[in-house]
Amino acid sequence: MTTPLIYDLDLPKLAATLKYWGEPKFRATQIWQGLYQNLWATPDEFSNLPKKLRERMAAEFSFSHLAPVTSVNSSDGETQKTLFHLPDGRPIETVRMRYEKRRTLCISTQSGCAMGCVFCATGQMGYLRNLSSGEIIEQVLFYARQLALEGEQVTNIVVMGMGEPFHNYNATLAAIDRLNDPEGMKLGARRFTISTVGLIPSIERFADEQRQINLAISLHAADDELRSSMLPINKRYPIADLMKAVRAYTEKTHRRVTFEWALIREVNDTPEQAYKLAALLKGMLAHVNVIPLNPTDGFKGQATTPERAEAFKTILENHHIECSIRIRRGLDIQAGCGQLAQKTG
């Protein structure tokens, strides 16, 4: 029987364990702060704890489920991608992006993905398994420790790596809650963005929970025929139903939603699609993020041109829809959106 991963415990469960061990109440807070503030990775680093307690922690808990296999850096040095193997050998990838004022992590919630989006390398892999909340957290801690050595810290987290976060809802939100904990890592809720292909029941649940976490919807097409050909989930949750759920979310939370759109040349980068999208989003608290398609081995579509991207953006802005064209990052190491897959570099 494997020992539990310590990052899978929230503070109340950790406190209950320490109480069962006969330890004083304050020990749980010491351990919690050691994990999430001091970023200690092994029991030996907890120098403020008695040796006997450190030994018991080592015996009773695992402090790592992620085994780094390879880390690769983009040629401009701004992006790094790490391939990890989980204890069962399943792969995940995590990306760190360096911007002028931000240090952003793109983290995974599943090994593989069940959504099957045709232009996404993770979708082409298929679904392997969900990550636990602790395995999601450990990706953040891995890079937080690296950044700390450089005198820096994680500023933003996008839950846009491998997997559909809302297909692993409980673990994903539990991980964010732990990273957001004011007694722990203290990452503000608005520093997180969750991206979903549009699982309506989860969007409705997310709205009911009134969270301050940013929500992004991977839309990519403005009519059902085209969207279903690229995102199979659209057959289950068509655009009209999805828009109804998103509008309800914005009305309930008063928070802006981001719509993500991978521009594929002469497929969804046309004026017709831009006009349809403008009609869909009319009056909604929304922002559109367009990005030229990132190439993957399993999809033959081509990225849009800069001119077509600008034309698409202009149509939206003329209809009072905020739009920005994202700069593609880490393409030379397959670290861009939709490129994470089981590759060893």
- Annotation marks residue 323 as catalytic: no
Q: How far apart are CA 82 and CA 99, in angstroms?
A: 18
Distances (CA, A) of 133 to 88, 173, 334: 16, 8, 25
The answer to whether 164 is a known catalytic residue is no
What's the burial of 206, exposed, middle or buried (CB within 10 Å: 0-12/13-18/19+)? Answer: buried
- The Cα 3–Cα 5 span in angstroms is 7
**What angle is formed at CA 166 by the lines to CA 295 and CA 278, rounded to 5 degrees?**
65
Closest CA to 30 of 17, 12, 48, 57: 48
Distance CA 156, CA 179 (A): 11
Distance separating alpha carbons of residues 175 and 237, to the nearest angstrom: 26
Residue from 23, 93, 164, 260 carrying the catalytic annotation? 93
106, 113, 323, 337: which is the annotated catalytic residue?
Answer: 337
Please give the Cα distance from 283 to 278 (Å, whole number): 9
Q: SS3 letters for 331-343?
A: HHHCCCCCCCCCC
Instruction: Please answer whether residues 260 and 233 qualify as being in contact, where contact means their C-beta atoms are separated by less than 8 angstroms.
Output: no
Among all residues, which ones are annotated catalytic? Answer: 93, 337
